[in-house]
């Protein structure tokens, strides 16, 4: 009698559950996953709606507060943000100095071009004739005084006298030994 009750139960319950799972099993699985994702989304949204605790005035000005940042790492993130801000200010200052230096160089080039143009209009040489001619005259006089002390036929490679050499090395060839 016990066997007949068990078979009755199997015949009544098993085919109906089996039929439902076989026909709607994938739908039930997708529905379960969607319900789980909906619960997760609503719990995140609920935790983000709670107001952040009030801290010192101006402490979070340069840092956007996000739920993703744990409270323990908030101090490190703030230090990094201040460091980035300081480095950006230094970079901006260097860039301003560089722009000023570039502007001064461009101004100097423009001034030199104007000087060259004016000297060409007056008939002077390309690079300022008066200054260059004085320097070149002094250099020429010093060179002439130095060269007057030199002997014209002296060559340090040949020695005193400067003529042809009396000794020459022998001819190289296969019969020279070796």
Q: Give the residue-averaged pLDDT of 144-162.
A: 61
First-to-last CA distance in the chain? 125
H helix and E strand count, the chain: 3, 0
> Is the CB of residue 91 less than 8 Å from the CB of residue 78?
no
Structural domain boundaries of the chain?
4-145
Q: What is the pLDDT of residue 103?
A: 95
pLDDT range class, residue 129, cuts 50, 70, 90: very low
Copy the structure tokens of residue 16. Answer: 């109906």
Angle at CA 170, nearest 5°, toward 167 and 171? 140
Q: What is the pLDDT of residues 19-40, one digit of tens each?
A: 887 888 889 999 999 999 999 9
pLDDT range class, residue 124, cuts 50, 70, 90: confident
Closest by CA position to 162, among listed 151, 153, 172, 152: 153
Total length of the chain? 178
Rounded to whole angstroms, the Cα distance separating 137 from 143 reads 10
Q: What is the pLDDT of residue 109?
A: 94
Q: What is the pLDDT of residues 35-62, one digit of tens each?
A: 999 999 999 888 887 665 555 554 555 5
Rounded to whole angstroms, the Cα distance separating 30 from 84 reads 46
- In this predicted structure, the answer to whether residue 77 has a pLDDT above a threshold of 60 is yes
Q: Give the residue-averaged pLDDT of 121-126.
A: 78
Q: What is the pLDDT of residues 59-74, one digit of tens each?
A: 555 555 555 667 778 8
- In this predicted structure, the answer to whether residue 159 has a pLDDT above a threshold of 80 is no
Q: What is the pLDDT of residue 133?
A: 52
Averaged pLDDT of the chain: 75
Q: Give the residue-averaged pLDDT of 100-109.
A: 94
> The whole model's pTM is what?
0.31
Rounded to whole angstroms, the Cα distance separating 26 from 32 reads 10
Q: Among 23-27, 57-61, 75-79, 103-107, which range has the highest average pLDDT?
A: 103-107
What is residue 159's three-state secondary structure? strand
92-101 as b/e, with b when 16 or more CB fall inside 10 Å?
A: eeeeeeeeee
Q: For residue 155, report the phi and psi dihedrals to the nearest 5 degrees.
A: -130, 120
Copy the structure tokens of residue 59. Answer: 């402490």
What is residue 77's three-state secondary structure? helix
């Amino acid at each position: 009698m016990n066997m007949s009750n068990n078979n009755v139960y199997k015949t009544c319950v098993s085919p109906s559950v089996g039929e439902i799972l076989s026909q709607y099993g994938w739908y039930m699985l997708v529905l379960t996953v969607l319900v789980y994702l909906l619960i997760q989304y609503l719990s995140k949204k609920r935790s983000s709606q709670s107001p952040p605790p009030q801290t010192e005035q101006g402490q979070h000005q340069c840092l956007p507060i996000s739920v993703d940042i744990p409270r323990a790492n908030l101090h490190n993130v703030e230090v990094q943000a201040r460091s980035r801000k300081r480095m950006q200010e230094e970079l901006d200052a260097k860039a301003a100095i560089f722009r000023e230096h570039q502007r001064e160089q461009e101004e100097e080039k423009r001034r030199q071009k104007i000087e060259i143009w004016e000297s060409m209009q007056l008939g002077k040489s390309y690079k300022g004739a008066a200054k260059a001619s004085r320097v070149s005259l002094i250099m020429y006089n010093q060179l002439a005084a130095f060269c007057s002390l030199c002997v014209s036929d002296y060559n340090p490679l040949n020695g005193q006298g400067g003529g042809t050499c009396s000794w020459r090395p022998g001819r190289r060839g296969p019969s020279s030994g070796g």
